[in-house]
Amino acid sequence: MSGSNLPRCWVGALVLGGASLLVGCATAQKPDPLEPLNRKVFAFNEAVDQAVLKPVATVYHDVVPSPVRRGVGNFFYNVKDVWSAVNLVLQGRPVDGLRDLARFGTNTVFGVFGFIDVATDLGLERHGEDFGQTLGRWGLGPGAYIVWPILGPSSVRDSVALPIEYQITPETWITPATTSYLFSATKLVNTRSDLLSATSMLDDISLDKYTFVRSAYLQRRRSLVYDGNPPDEEPLDGPDPALDAPLPASAAASAGAMPASSASAASAASGH
């Protein structure tokens, strides 16, 4: 089995599921009509995170030096800069797209294939645009909130974008399959380790953790679509009281940064 065969199964499921939800939830008046099912998946993801992902990420964080972990993260972000440039052009922002291409070229050549972020020091800030944000800029509303097994929090709009997002990740280009899986695991564990301190506060909150993560994710994604300046009017999916109260910046930032588990998502995201 090649490294991309298994994800193709996810691709089909995400596309079919996203298409049906776009039709079935187009007139939904709440952002989470799938809440009973979402809560079950959320609990499953929590169990996986507590039993496997968080312990592994903790060991990784303690053993691997910070400069190495930062370099690994920079490498994956560097590849995303190319996709970000494509999305910026699709959003009608060609100048910003060229700046992200310049980031990629600078960090690839002078930053040892992106392991060192030279571009930021030169004033080339990362935009980090994805296809879900592009769909939002085109006017597609987020649709229903969805929690996917392992992948974590998402929405109909972001779920439709997931198959395309996956195809531009470095691990899809790598053979053999074992190397591709190792690449994916390294990316996941490295990202989770970066969020250990940010997500630890979720264990101390007295609110319903599911609602907290959902609100943080939806707030962050809406902010990203509108570059931090969302419109005052209600989204097409109807009002959501959970989105009215501002959340701590660290929680909102983490909410879309991680693709696995609710704890790591509240990430993530960053989705991803």
What average pLDDT score do residues 96-119 get?
A: 96
Q: Where does the pLDDT of residue 45 fall: very low under 50, low under 70, confident under 90, or very high at 90 and above? A: very high
Q: Name which of 107, 161, 154 is nearest 129 in CA terms.
A: 161
pLDDT digits (tens, 9 = 90+) for 164-202: 988 888 777 777 888 888 888 999 999 999 988 777 777
For residue 121, what pLDDT is reported?
93
How distant, in Å, are the alpha carbons of 63, 189, 211, 239, 245 from that of 165?
31, 19, 26, 29, 30
Answering whether pTM is above 0.85, one says no
Q: In this predicted structure, what is the pLDDT of residue 169?
A: 81
- In DSSP notation, the chain reads --TTHHHHHHHHHHHHHHHHHHHHTTT-SSS-TTHHHHHHHHHHHHHHIIIIIHHHHHHHHHHS-HHHHHHHHHHHHHHHHHHHHHHHHHTT-HHHHHHHHHHHHHHHHHTTTTTS--TGGGT-------HHHHHHHTT----SEEEETTTEEEEHHHHHHHHHHHHTSGGGG-SSHHHHHHHHHHHHHHHHHHTHHHHGGGGT--S-HHHHHHHHHHHHHHHHHTTT---SSPPTT---GGGTS---HHHHHHHTT-SS-HHHH-------
256 phi/psi in degrees, rounded to 5: -115, 10
Residue 192 · residue 54 · CB < 8 Å: yes
Q: Provide the pLDDT for residue 71.
A: 95
Q: Residue 180's pLDDT is what?
A: 84
Q: Does residue 202 contact residue 265 with C-beta atoms inside 8 Å?
A: no
Q: How far apart are CA 34 and CA 26, in angstroms?
A: 13
Query: What integer is the mean pLDDT of 235-242?
Result: 45
**Is the predicted pLDDT of residue 19 greater than 70, yes or no?**
no
Whether the CB-CB separation of 153 and 49 falls below 8 Å is answered with no
